[in-house]
Amino acid sequence: MNDTYVIFDPKVDRPLHEMPRNDAKAAYNWFISQKDERIEVLKRYAHELGFSLDDEFNAIEQLHNLLVVEVHKDSVRDVPSTRVFSLCNDIAIFISEMLVRNGSSLQWTFYIANENDLSYHRPVITGFNVKNNNYSVDIDYVLCQYAHRLSQGGNQEEGLLRRIYESTISKAHRKK
């Protein structure tokens, strides 16, 4: 097997919420410019592993299994590997792009609504049909937390990625 997976380099040296807004915004813009390439990296890696991301809804389960396998490769440890964090990022981009395509009002946003929010200065999905105008979804953050739990011996949650997608899309305006 020729491991074609290239780890994502976010080009930042500290958590985004600690960065000055201009630097965090530049990191966001760079991230957005890379998301299509990251999906291609993930597609090539999936192909190498023997599955396709073309049927997105079925691919969600395969991506979940891939993430669990990658975490378990590292065995139980304090934090996931850089590779696992990169996979979380790429899987989150893949699912987020599905959401943006299937929810007419959804879009990527540089989150600045609340400095105390865990997603402050991060790329999130916004535009939901909910009362809270600042409501956002940060799938990368959720997946990284899941990877942390798994890497520390936590249980796998069957269907987690599908539930994340379905719960999120249910709050979006539908395309007509």
DSSP result, 49-80: HT--SSSHHHHHHHHHHHHHHHHHHT-S-SS-
Identify the band that residue 2 occupies on the pLDDT scale cut at 50, 70 and 90: low
The predicted structure's pLDDT at residue 4: 79
* Residues contacting residue 147 through CB under 8 Å, at least 6 positions apart: 67, 71, 80, 84, 85, 88
Q: Are 125 and 168 in contact (CB under 8 A)?
A: yes
> What pLDDT shows up at residue 76?
62
Q: Name the token pair of 2.
A: 């020729």
Query: Mean pLDDT over residues 140-157, rounded?
Result: 93
At residue 176 the predicted structure's pLDDT band, cuts being 50, 70 and 90, is very low
Residue 77 has pLDDT above 80, yes or no: no
Q: Identify the band that residue 56 occupies on the pLDDT scale cut at 50, 70 and 90.
A: confident
Backbone angles phi and psi of 128, in degrees to 5: -85, 155
Q: What integer pLDDT is reported at residue 63 of this predicted model?
A: 97
Lowest mean pLDDT across 5-14, 50-59, 73-82, 153-162: 73-82
Cβ neighbours around 16 below 10 Å, total: 20
105 compared with 42, residue with greater pLDDT:
42
How many CB atoms sit inside 10 A of residue 17's CB?
15
Q: Alpha-carbon distance 60 to 102, whole Å?
A: 15
Confidence of residue 38 (pLDDT cuts 50, 70, 90): very high
For the segment 21-25, the average pLDDT, to the nearest whole number, is: 96
pLDDT at residue 175 greater than cutoff 60 = no
- CA neighbor of 10 nearest in space, from 25, 30, 37: 30
